[in-house]
Structures are given as C-alpha cells and as structure tokens.
Amino acid sequence: MSPSKNSKLNAWVEEVRAMVQPDKVEWCDGSKAEYDRMMQILLDAGLATKLKKRPNSFLFRSDPSDVARVEDRTYISTRNKRDAGPTNNWTSPDELKATMRGLYNGCMKGRTMYVIPFSMGPIGSDIAKIGVQLTDSAYVVVNMHIMTRVGSKVMDVLGANGDFIPCLHSVGKPLQAGQADNGVWPCAPIEKKYIAHFPEENLIWSYGSGYGGNALLGKKCLALRIASAMGRKEGWMAEHMLILRLTNPEGRRFHIAAAFPSACGKTNLAMLQPPLKGWKAECLGDDIAWMKIKADGRLYAINPEAGFFGVAPGTSYKSNPMAMDSIKENAIFTNCVLTDDGDVWWEDMDKPCDHGIDWKGRDWKPGKEVGAHGNARFTAPAKQCPVICSDWENPEGVPIDIFVFGGRRTRVMPLVHQATSWDHGVFMGATAASEPTAAALDASSALRRDPMAMLPFCGYNVGDYWQHWFEMGDRLGSKAPAIFYVNWFRKSDAGKFLWPGYGDNARVLKWMCQRVEGKVGARETPLGFMPNAEDLDLTGLSISKENLDEVLKVDAAAFKAEFGDLDGWMAKVGEFLPERMKKQVTEYKKRFGG
C-alpha cells in the first residue's frame, strides 16, 4: 500500500510497476532500521562484507564492467538536437524511450522495487528539490540514505499536490524463480546501459548499471544534468563545485565555490586545513553547488547532497586528514582492497598493505596490478566530517564571494590568475582544460577542455550554458563573485611538482580573499591579475625562488602556441557560441599580441 497521498507519484509508481514487474514494491522511510535491514539483505546476497575494523562499515565489489560513470552511454534527450548541444549524446525522446521501455519490460522480475523519496538540499529550503527514485538495488538504497535526505519528512513536504523529479533506475538483471545474486554484482552489459535525461519533462531513466553516478540518481543526473537545465529556465545555477568557508584572523568570512574536473583534488580542497596562523577553513560541500540570487542581490549557495562519494585511492592522512576522519565509521566502500585484519585499503593510503583481497575478489599482494580500482569510492555522511561548517544545512545557503576554476596542467598554466571582469571570468571557466594524461608532455597534444568542469554534466547546449553565465553576471552586477583560475599541478622538466599543493593551496586562497578585500597587490598580465611573489603569504613554506618564479610566470609563446587548440574548442561550440564569448576570445588573443 502506498503511504503517499500524491496522486502523480502514485500513478507513476503504478505505471512503472506494471512495466518492470517486480515481485514486490517497498516504500523507503529513511530510518536506521531500514538501512540495517537493507545491509542485511546485501550481506545475505553475498554482495557486502562487514568490516571488522570500522564500526558499521561495509565493503562491496562491483562487476569489473561496472566501475565508473559511462559517459558514452549518457544521453540528453530533447525534442530538438540543438538543445542538447555539441557536447552531449543525443537521441530523440520517442526513440530512446521506445528502446528503454523494451529493456525495462519485466526487468525487475524476482526483485523488489524500492521507492525512495529524497530531497536534494535541506528539506523545505527554497533552493531544494524533491526527487523520487525507483530502483531494484538495495545497494542504491543504502547509498541514497547517505548521499541524500531520504524519508517520511520528504513525503510530508511533497503532500498531495507537490512536484517531484521522477528517477527510474534498474540494474537490468531480472532473476528467475529461485535464482539469487549469490555474490555476483547485478548489472547489464555495456551496450545495454543507458543513462537518459529528459530535461523538457524533468525525468531521468537509468538502466543497466549499479555504480555511482549511473545509479545514485540524485547526484550527477538530478543535481547537475537536470538541475542545470532547470536553473537556466528558472534563473539559478547548478554547478559542479565544492563550497568552502574561509575565516580570516579578523573574523571576516569568505565563501568560495570551486569547479574542477574529476580527479583534480576537489574533495581535498573542500576539506583543506590552512597552515596559516589565524585562518580557519570549514567545508560545506565537496561536489555540487546550487546557487540562487537572493533579495540582497548576492548569490547564495547550498550543497544539495548529504554525503561524500569520494575517490578512495590517493586519500590519506597526508592528502586529506579530514576525509580520513569522515570515513572512520558508518561508511560504505566500493572496489577497495579487503585487508587480512578486516579493514579497507587503497593505493597511496598512509600505511602499506602487503596482502589482501583485491577489488576483483582475488588474493592480492602489491605488484604489477593495483589492489583497489582507480575509481574505488567511499560513501560517508557529510556530518561526520570534523570540519563540516555549522551552516552546511542552513536552508538560506551562504553568500559566495569567490569562484575558482581549474584543471590539471603540468605545463604552461601558472598557479593562479584573476579575471578582470565577469565576462573574462566566464571565458576562463569556459576554456578550462587539463592535459589528457599526466604523461602528456608533448606540446602538440590536444587539451581536454572541460568548461566549468561541467563537460559530462551540463544538461543542455553548452553555448546556451555560457550565455546563462553571462546573464547571471548581468543580474549580479557589482555583487558578483570575483573569479579566479588555479593550477596546482605544474611540474618541472624533471617531472617534480613545483608547488607543494594540498594544505598550502590555502596560501593562494588567502590571496584571493585579500584581493576581494582590496588589501593585496597584483600585477596585470595578458591572463589577468596575478600575484607578485611578495603578495603571497609564504610564511613557513620552503619553496625555491626558481620554482616560485616558474609557477608565477606567463610564458606568452607557450600560450600563443595553444591558440589553435582554443580555436578548435570554440569551433566545436560553433554556431551556438555567444557573441560575448567571441569577444572574449578576440580580446584574449589581442592581449598576447596575436
């Protein structure tokens, strides 16, 4: 029996039930008892292992074919192809729905269909949105419990007539009578996986994967792809950004929202602890920011998520002690090593591991093959982070002072530069780039452009997205956040990092805050404003003058050599390129004298 009085919800659940034909339907209430019951189901199915060393924590191993987001199988399905734009896969809604209906037909046989009502954002906040996910995966239910706000309170807000975003998900592996998963991660083969978004009707259909962003539909699907398209229509922004509060010794607070592509240390920056006397940093979110202009004309951000779904390899007490402390208990691990004493391990954790079971379930010793998959993950409640900000659930959000963009570049791009205007900042975000691999030292190799770190997440035409950014700037006027671009990853010719990174990145953030206050110097360069060495607080840091000069240098010839790559990127957006972006490109080249 449905506990919901919402007729739209009840009708949709019934329509899906008739199509997917589950053995039963269960409505989730988000309680601890429910979480424990789901975990027991997963333990009984041989999919979860309880960790002896971490209270209430569990390890999962996925199928080796189901380990990451599947960008090639991800669609933005709009009536007109132009509305998905040049950076998204597109198929018409009629065609995609017909294909997917064929797959969904009877796909939950032998399984339970769970109905998960969830809120992205503090329940009842005027920036928050309600979603309802239907899924046949208990693994998804427990992860959604951590990553979103699930349960009865959401149903109260939804009431009889409230609106919600329907999110349909199936692992695509029906069971025959008497068949069980028996320790085998259920999913469908790659050519049957579809992660489909219908932004014109705020609808998500996902089929065939049980992993991360493909399956936890509140995150990338709802909070970025669908929300970005809603934000454009409704005049707000959904961005792939961490949110951080820095407080200076005088007690002034600065809120920073920063966008980096995956694997650029976003979670590390979100939880950074400054080595600077009197400065304090608190985390509000590590992946997504929803931002709205409020009555005072400023841009306010909330973190729509309730947990962290972080990349495990590389996370250590050295790189991110606050993340390590966040996952001491009540955490879910996926595709990590199981150690002999019943804990988890991954590459570049602080202490070595000499024996265990690897992510594929095989006996493992360090050697040629890694023990944890490169995209192994932890799921942990945000409230367990020791430096979570007291305002992280404030329904009003926090006023953003600073936007930061960046990418991973071993060459050319200096440590930091500041936009001279909003439009210039939009250009910086739009042209953000990483080198395709750490080894790509060849100047001719193409850059991977990742505009505002939204390449895989923008739910509409990227040209329209940039226009939306320009228009938000017009509305914000003098109250717009200052915009900066950083690169923590410069290396010497010998392959050594030139800048220490991690907590020392706070020195760069301090310069940004002081720029906002008008308290620190800068020099004007063709890239924008940049610090002189003496403008950065380097107290207690040992960095050679040579390295410092190198990371603060603008190598005009190297930038000019990349004009062709820039033109290629702009040509990709082609006819959809806003006039204001064309103007930025022209001005940028002119500043370099080219």
Closest to Mn ion by CB, 283 or 337: 283
- Which among ligand OXD, Mn ion, none contacts residue 213 (Cβ within 5 to 8 A by kind)? ligand OXD
As a whole number of angstroms, the distance between CA 109 and CA 431 comes to: 47
Both tokens of 382, joined, read 């945000």
Question: Residue 529: phi, psi to the nearest 5?
Answer: -80, 135
Q: Which of 91, 262, 335, 487 binds ligand OXD (CB under 6 A)?
A: 262
Q: Is 313 in the site for ligand OXD (CB under 6 A)?
A: no
Beta carbon nearer to ligand OXD, 67 or 577 = 67
Cβ nearer to ligand OXD, comparing 263 with 443: 263
Q: Which amino acid is at 243?
A: I
Task: Find out whether 302 and 393 touch, Cβ atoms under 8 Å.
Answer: no
* Chain residue at closest Cβ approach to Mn ion: 287
Considering the complex, what minimum distance in angstroms separates the CB of residue 259 from ligand OXD?
Answer: 10
Q: Which one, 260 or 279, has the nearer CB to ligand OXD? A: 260
Closest to ligand OXD by CB, 220 vs 409, is 220
- Residue 514 touches which of Mn ion, ligand OXD, none (CB < 5 to 8 A by kind)? none
Whether the CB-CB separation of 142 and 38 falls below 8 Å is answered with: yes
Q: List the interface residues with ligand OXD, window 570-589 (CB under 6 A).
A: none
Which 350-409 residues touch ligand OXD, going by CB under 6 A?
Answer: none
Strands 337-339 and 344-345: what pairing?
A: antiparallel
CB contact at 8 A, 275 and 380: no
Distance CA 203, CA 168 (A): 8
Cα–Cα distance measured from residue 532 to residue 521, given in angstroms and rounded to the nearest whole number? 7
Selection from Mn ion, ligand OXD, none that 339 binds (CB < 5 to 8 A by kind) is: none
Beta bridge partners of 167: 133, 204
Q: How far is the CB of 44 from Mn ion (least distance, A)?
A: 32
Residues 164-193 as x/- pattern, contact with ligand OXD by CB under 6 A: ------------------------------
DSSP H or E stretch at residue 254: strand 253-259
Residue in 232, 252, 253, 235 with CA at minimum distance from that of residue 244:
253
CA-to-CA distance for 437 and 240, rounded, in angstroms?
21
Distance in Å, CB of 556 to Mn ion, minimum: 33
Interface size with ligand OXD, residues (CB under 6 A) = 4
Q: What mask, x for binding ligand OXD by CB under 6 A, covers residues 192 to 231?
A: ---------------------x------------------
Q: Which is nearer to ligand OXD, 262 or 467 (CB)?
A: 262
Give CA–CA dist 467/31, Å, rounded: 43
Of Mn ion, ligand OXD, none, which one does residue 88 interact with (CB within 5 to 8 Å by kind)? none
- What is the C-alpha radius of gyration for the chain, rounded to an integer number of angstroms? 24
Query: Active-site residue among 107, 187, 221, 264?
Result: 264
Instruction: Identify what 239 binds: Mn ion, ligand OXD, none; CB under 5 to 8 Å per kind.
Output: none
Distance CA 557, CA 257 (A): 31
The single residue listed with the structure tokens 């950014």 is 469
> Please, which residue, 110 or 212, has the CB nearer to ligand OXD?
212
The 57-96 contact track toward ligand OXD, x by CB under 6 A, reads ------------x---------------------------
**CB of 47 vs ligand OXD, minimal distance in Å:** 21
Q: Using CA atoms, how far apart are residues 62 and 65, in angstroms rounded to an integer?
A: 8
Nearer to ligand OXD (CB atom), residue 213 or residue 451: 213
CA separation for the pair 332, 301 (Å, rounded): 27
**Cβ proximity to ligand OXD, 262 vs 584, nearer residue:** 262
Smallest distance, ligand OXD to C-beta of residue 90, A: 21
Q: How far is the CB of 220 from ligand OXD (least distance, A)?
A: 7
Q: Minimum Å distance from CB 262 to ligand OXD?
A: 4
**3-class secondary-structure state, position 408:** coil
Give min distance, CB of 34 to ligand OXD, in A: 25
Q: In the bound complex, what is the minimum distance in angstroms from residue 457's beta carbon to ligand OXD?
A: 8
Residue whose token pair is 């926090």: 398
Q: List all residues 6 or more positions away from 547 whose beta carbon is below 8 Å from its beta carbon.
A: 492, 498, 499
Cα(411)–Cα(557) distance, integer angstroms:
13
Q: What is the DSSP string of 111-137?
A: SEEEEEEEEESSTT-TT-EEEEEEES-
Q: How far apart (Å, rounded) are the C-alpha atoms in residues 293 and 528?
A: 26
Q: What is the edge-to-edge ordering of all strands in the sheet holding 416-418?
A: 280-285, 241-247, 253-259, 402-406, 482-486, 416-418, 528-530, 523-525
Query: Using CB under 6 A, which of 287, 305, 435, 450 touches ligand OXD?
Result: 287
- Cα(512)–Cα(535) distance, integer angstroms: 10
Q: Is 264 an active-site residue?
A: yes
Using CB under 5 A, list all residues that contact Mn ion: 287
Spatial separation of the C-alpha atoms in residues 51 and 378, rounded to whole Å? 13
Q: Are residues 319 and 310 in contact, defined by beta-carbon separation less than 8 angstroms? A: no
Closest of 554, 555, 570 to residue 431, by C-alpha: 570
- Binding partner of residue 34 among Mn ion, ligand OXD, none, CB cut-off 5 to 8 Å per kind: none
CB of residue 260 to Mn ion, shortest distance in Å: 8
C-alpha 214/C-alpha 71 separation (Å) is 9
Choose from ligand OXD, Mn ion, none: what does 298 bind? Cβ within 5-8 Å by kind.
none
Residue owning tokens 């019943």: 342
Residue number, 114 or 290, with CB nearest to Mn ion: 290
What residue ranges bind ligand OXD (CB under 6 A)? 69, 213, 262, 287
Which residues does the annotation mark as catalytic?
264
